[in-house]
Amino acid sequence: MPIKNGFETTMELKNIFNNFGIIIPIVALSAFSQKEYKNKANEVGMELYIEKPFTQEKLEMLISHYLI
């Protein structure tokens, strides 16, 4: 992302929506599989961290419980 990375964007979105009492799930989709990226994603409030490559079925399975 040209201006903010996904971690910064997640923190900003979480703060904005939390101020209104709205909980939004954020899913990271990344080619990075290092543990520090997964840990950072968790720290900033991302609910899921999906590594590439992935299948449509895997993606649907992982996010299906967030859909109402």
Q: Which residue has the tokens 């997964």?
A: 38
Tokens of 54: 């992935």
**Per-residue pLDDT tens for 23-52?**
899 999 999 989 999 999 999 999 999 999
Q: Which CATH class is domain 6-66?
A: alpha beta
Which pLDDT score, from 0 to 100, does residue 1 have? 65
Whether 47 contacts 26, CB under 8 Å:
yes
| Tally of CB atoms within 10 A around 10 | 21
Half-sphere exposure of 11 (CA within 13 A, CB side): 8
- CA distances 26 to 10, 14, Å, are 7, 9
The pLDDT of residue 20 is above 90 = yes
